[in-house]
A and B are shown apart, each in its own frame.
Chain A
Amino acid sequence: MADSIIAVDCSLEVMDTLKEMLGEEATLSGKSFEDIDSLQDYRMILVESADNQDELLQRIKKLRYACYFRNLPIILIKKQGNIDSIEPYLSSGATEVLSLDDPPAAFQQILKGYLSPNREPLKEEKEYLDSFINNTCKVLKTTASVETIFKEVYFANDFRIFGDISGIIGLSGAAEGLLGITFYWPLAKMIIARMMDVDQDRINAELIHDGVAEIINMISGSTKKEFVDKPYHFEISLPSVIVGSGHQIGHAENTPIAVLIFEVNFQYFALQVCLNYMNPQNH
């Protein structure tokens, strides 16, 4: 089945070139930014570069937010020439910046590379990821009485996450790494209001920071208990909180970063599990 790709605000010339590049491997749908209601069914988002950089950055940011933590590549396409600095676009949520002036073979290879399916967790990864999933659902059910549904897992290449607030905890010991939970502000506020059993208008930023730290603390603490005598047992640090869209979290080199997406009342949050340990089966 062909991958479904959305081309946002792309001119006919760009659309024709993209169709030629992608061939029958993808179905390309052109839409204006204002007409997009859901990105649920797409595997990639292509956006044509525009003169108004501020507006373009805002649109990329909104598109990234609308991905709800899914690993959807957002590719910015320049019709001619190159963009001087791509960092503002990456910080807003773009995955890659390409130009139609780039060598066609390279352009095509890069695009098709982003359509490669996400790898599935290995058996040993699934073992510990299942514990994190179960404990995440349990923590929110117990403290906030919310039903949490695990949606999907993928492995990220970097830790640039596009939520509003993240709680992170360092892991050390037999296993090393990092655990992070990332929310959009409205969901964080709703959950913490339910945890405290108060109206949402009584929840300020400080309480959201506090609550997010407690949530990641409880998830890591309750999962840790299940890992005694396992090769991926860890000790936990005190939690930290980071606020700001597009924040990047440092992680250990050559360590898989599993991103787990959860849904609560049609809103989404992500748990990042970055764990490096010595698997005795491999030695």
Chain B
Amino acid sequence: MKVIVADDSRVMRNIISNALKPMGFEILHAANGQEVIDILQLSWSQIGLILLDWNMPVMNGLEVLKEMKGNDQYKDIPVLMVSTEAEIGKMDLAFNEGAKGYLAKPFTQDELTKLISSTIKI
């Protein structure tokens, strides 16, 4: 299964990718929200999960959610927000736009695994 890891920080993309490796996913990197949309346009049917940062340049995480919500092809691809912004208000916004879960940085391997397992069938 292919997973998009979207974060403007290369260090953070690496951290998340390393945490996902034991689960056997093929990881695709995106440095901003527009790159997520570009990947989806090309290969949406192969994407099983998106891990999305909130604050990104060009297009932020919330804007990606809204874009996906309005597109029949990829509105059902599960999205997990991964962000330092873990307050209730922000989480509600993300859930209203279709996010399936929320993971606060920093997170442990265990927390990531549990959230992904409860979100998708591996």
User: Which of A's residues lie within 8 Å of B, judged by CB?
Assistant: 138-139, 142-143, 192, 195-198, 206-207, 210-211, 213-214, 217-218, 220-222, 224-225, 228, 236, 238
* Residues of the B chain whose Cβ atoms lie less than 8 Å from the Cβ of A213: 9
User: Which of B's residues lie within 8 Å of A, judged by CB?
Assistant: 9-12, 14-15, 18, 55, 83-87, 104-108
* Residues of the B chain whose Cβ atoms lie less than 8 Å from the Cβ of A139: 106
* Residues of the A chain whose Cβ atoms lie less than 8 Å from the Cβ of B18: 196-197
Do the beta carbons of B106 and A207 come within 8 Å of each other? no
Taken together as a complex, chains A and B put the C-alpha atoms of A260 and B108 apart, in Å, by 25
* Residues of the B chain whose Cβ atoms lie less than 8 Å from the Cβ of A221: 83-86, 104-105
Taken together as a complex, chains A and B put the C-alpha atoms of A138 and B63 apart, in Å, by 30
Overall SS of chain A's interface: helix
Given contacts A217-B84, A238-B55, contact A211 B11 (CB under 8 A): yes
Taken together as a complex, chains A and B put the C-alpha atoms of A207 and B15 apart, in Å, by 12
B84 partner, pick from A192, A196, A220, beta carbons under 8 A: A220
Minimum CB–CB distance for A233 against chain B, Å: 10
* Most chain A Cβ neighbours within 10 Å, of B11, B12, B85: B11
Offer 21 A-B interface pairs, CB within 8 angstroms, sorted by A.
A138-B106, A143-B15, A192-B11, A195-B11, A196-B15, A197-B14, A197-B18, A198-B14, A206-B10, A207-B10, A210-B9, A210-B10, A213-B9, A217-B105, A218-B105, A218-B106, A220-B84, A221-B86, A221-B105, A222-B106, A225-B104
